[in-house]
Amino acid sequence: MLEIDHISLRLGGRPILDNVQFRANDGELCVLMGANGAGKSTLLKAIAGEYPHYEGNIRLHGQELRQRSIKDQATGRAVLSQQISLQLPFTVMQVVMMGRFVYGQENAALDKAIMLYALELLQVADLKDRNYLTLSGGQQQRVQMARVLAQLLEVPDLEGADYKGRKMLLLDEPVTGMDIRHQQLSLQLAARLAQKGVLVVAVLHDFQLAAAYAQNIVLLHRGTVYKQGRPETVLTEPVIQHCFGVPVQVLSHPQYPYPLIVAGMPDQNSHSYNHHIMETTTNNSLKEQWIQFREQNPKNRIRDAARKLNATEGQLVAAFTGDCVTALQNDFRNILPRMPRLGRVMVLTRNESCVIERKGIFEEVNVENKHVGLVLGKDIDLRMFLSHWAYGFALTDDETAGFKRSVQVFDAQGEAVIKIFAQPETDMAAWEQLVKDFTAAEQSTSIAITPAPAPRPDAAEIDKAAFLEDWAALKDTHDFFPMLAKYKAGRQQALEIGEGRFTRRVDNGVIKAMLEDAAESGLEIMVFVGNHGNIEIHTGPVKKILEIPGWINVMDPDFNLHLRLDDVARCWVVEKPSVDGTVTSIEVFDAGGEMIVQFFGKRKPGNPELQAWRDLVAKFRAYPEVLQA
């Protein structure tokens, strides 16, 4: 491990580095970034020993660098400087062999084998007899990269090598002058060395290369560390604007597991809040940005706020790790069976347009099936797709952060899958024991974000007659999804095929009408709200229906529903055959074809659907006819 501990440095009486602190781990490619004059190369030279008069401490594997012998430094650390000047006509082989001089030429055969191996890895073996001074700038840079590689290697083979705790590679703008192919080649090699345990620290200017190859980015601004972390947490629009003065767009793409940075924004007004943050936020952390945003916008939901801060909700929560947040082990199949011990809790599940909240106790928990976990009970009823559960956190009450005591789970995209909140009746001793038993070994303030995979396209052609025949032959509502998969049909595509026989599109106003009618009559219904990681189900009556501009809400003591009406694009009445008779639902979709919520009449396997529910749904005529009174 490399520890930079409160480093300050002056050159020519001028302060260049001011109280710089960060850590880089063995086996990690750590990239130093920053605008010209930010102190990157100076810091790298201090680590390389060129500026030993720094204040503070630089420790490598626990030992202060200035206390290490020159030989230990030479054999354990290789440096590729930004500017290398050779005036004599050395051959390429001679230049690369210079990397082996630190070993005292004790084994000439080994030195030559490693030199030739380094030439091959950097694809300059065909230049080995050329005069170094006659090479292009990019070729010279690759030769110098081969030299530092020859200095690091102990055998002419990277496979099976383990340099953890023994080797460090410092690279100052290593791809300068290289074409794009050889830029990738050189950084792929640096990444391979990191995988073999080498601690690699590189100065890069290219955002895209840093995003693609770095595990850790240290961003310097005016001589100090402005932000450190994984690429997706450091290379954000507000941070880049602040440190480089350049507007950018940070994009995601399903084929690339790292952010894509594009200079310039097509619509300056679309990021007005980002510009405000750039101007007003002086603290470098996402944590402080969230606190400031919340003070100015106390009614904004954290999910919406995260997007305005160019982050995800999961990243905002992770930013408070070590303060009011504890990272949990990714061991949800063992965490979930402990939930009944907690007693009464509130479970929240949401998607882009709807939130469901249900209070009660976990009764029967079953996570044995590798595809779906179940929680069954009169209060808490869940269908959990655990392959999408990536990060878990335990939050404590914190007024400044706006957090309530809860366990929250996020997917690989940093979006919330499920939240479980403590209630006054919760057994807090059991809660604290659960958190203690499943606290993660690493308490990082950042999480890696993976772009969501591209949605599967709907089938271009479907045999409608066969599809409808299979629909008519359904024996259970759970067979509907396998039928869709068989034909590669999207859900809304299926409803369009079934229109007139099994489905009818109805006016969006049926949602309010249905809820108010059920509340007035006391009809018990089922409400399904989910995302790709969890579906939460309420079964029972609805009583207090409250409409506010853009929203319809159920505000009952143990059940809350919040549905954003502005997002509703289509509503369908859907009928599915079953062994218990026809099962009727109201399915609600957004403009992108994603399901927002489903409504059923209360039912259980073995019992037919409530006639009162059928009568209620029968009142809703096919779109665009108006609702019946």
Cross-strand pairs, 379: none
Residues 204 and 256 in one domain: no
Band of the pLDDT at 85, cuts 50, 70, 90? low
Residue 164 domain-assigned (yes or no): yes
At residue 50, does pLDDT exceed 90?
no
Give the least confident one: 76-85, 361-370, 418-427.
76-85
Residue 357 domain-assigned (yes or no): no
SS3 of 207, please? Answer: helix
CATH code, 130: 3.40.50.300
Residue 210 domain-assigned (yes or no): yes
Mean of pLDDT values over 358-377: 95
Residue ending a domain, among 167, 196, 231, is 231
Residues 116 and 161 in one domain: yes
Band of the pLDDT at 629, cuts 50, 70, 90? very low
542-570 burial string, b = 16+ CB within 10 Å, else e? beebeeeeebbbbebeebbbbbebebbbb
**What sign for the dihedral angle of Cα 401, 333, 348, 428?**
negative
Measure CA of the first residue to CA of the last residue in the chain; give whole Å.
Answer: 72
Residues 225 and 261 in one domain: no
**What is the distance between the alpha carbons of residues 237 and 393, in angstroms, rounded to a whole number?**
26
Band of the pLDDT at 623, cuts 50, 70, 90? low
Residue 115 domain-assigned (yes or no): yes
Confidence (pLDDT) at 87? 66
> What is the DSSP code string of 545-576?
EEEETTEEEEE-SSEEEEEEGGG--EEEEEEE
Residue 385 domain-assigned (yes or no): no
Band of the pLDDT at 532, cuts 50, 70, 90? very high
At residue 333, does pLDDT exceed 90?
yes
Confidence (pLDDT) at 83? 62
Alpha helical stretches, state H, 156-213: 180-195, 207-213
Residues 179 and 263 in one domain: no
Confidence (pLDDT) at 300? 79
Residues 278 and 182 in one domain: no
Mean of pLDDT values over 346-357: 96
Residue 363 domain-assigned (yes or no): no
Mean of pLDDT values over 522-545: 96
More confident residue, 408 or 23: 408
Band of the pLDDT at 51, cuts 50, 70, 90? confident
Confidence (pLDDT) at 294? 84
Confidence (pLDDT) at 624? 57
Give the least confident one: 36-40, 78-82, 435-439, 523-527.
78-82
- The conformation of residue 88, written as its DSSP 8-state character, comes to S
H or E stretch including 64? strand 63-64
Give Cα separations from 149 to 292, 583, 599 (angstroms).
46, 68, 64
Residues 256 and 115 in one domain: no
Mean of pLDDT values over 85-98: 82
The C-alpha angle 578, 582, 588, rounded to 5 degrees, equals 105
> Look-up: residue for tokens 């335990």?
394
Residues 42 and 114 in one domain: yes
Residues 48 and 104 in one domain: yes
> Look-up: residue for tokens 């190369």?
41
- HSE-CB of 279 using CA atoms within 13 angstroms: 6
Cross-strand pairs, 196: none
Query: What average pLDDT is seen over the chain?
Result: 88
Residue 294 domain-assigned (yes or no): yes
More confident residue, 260 or 439: 439
Confidence (pLDDT) at 73? 76
Give the least confident one: 251-265, 468-482, 514-528, 554-568.
251-265
- The percentage of residues in the chain with a pLDDT greater than 90, rounded to a whole number, is 51
More confident residue, 50 or 445: 445
Band of the pLDDT at 264, cuts 50, 70, 90? low
**What is the distance between the alpha carbons of residues 82 and 42, in angstroms, rounded to a whole number?**
11
> Look-up: residue for tokens 């509502």?
477
Residues 227 and 256 in one domain: no
What number of residues does the chain have? 629
> Nearest-CA neighbor of 28 among 161, 213, 234?
213
Confidence (pLDDT) at 465? 95
- Is the bond preceding residue 624 a cis peptide, omega within 30 degrees? yes
At residue 340, does pLDDT exceed 60?
yes
Confidence (pLDDT) at 585? 96
Mean of pLDDT values over 542-567: 93
**What sign for the dihedral angle of Cα 229, 312, 435, 425?**
positive
Residue ending a domain, among 231, 262, 284, is 231
Residue ending a domain, among 289, 318, 347, is 318
Residues 259 and 203 in one domain: no
> Nearest-CA neighbor of 262 among 271, 40, 446, 174?
271
Give the least confident one: 140-149, 280-289, 313-322.
280-289
Residues 485 and 525 in one domain: yes
Band of the pLDDT at 251, cuts 50, 70, 90? confident
| Domain around 493 | 464-542+567-618
pTM: 0.57
CATH code, 496: 3.40.1570.10
Which tens digits make up the pLDDT trace of 415-454? Answer: 999 999 999 999 999 999 999 999 999 999 999 988 887 7
Band of the pLDDT at 82, cuts 50, 70, 90? low
**What is the distance between the alpha carbons of residues 78 and 60, in angstroms, rounded to a whole number?**
14
More confident residue, 472 or 100: 472
Confidence (pLDDT) at 355? 96
Residue 216 domain-assigned (yes or no): yes
Residues 202 and 124 in one domain: yes
At residue 411, does pLDDT exceed 90?
yes
Contact between residue 622 and residue 545 where contact means Cβ atoms under 8 Å apart: no
Q: How many domains are there within the chain?
A: 3
Confidence (pLDDT) at 518? 96
Confidence (pLDDT) at 627? 41
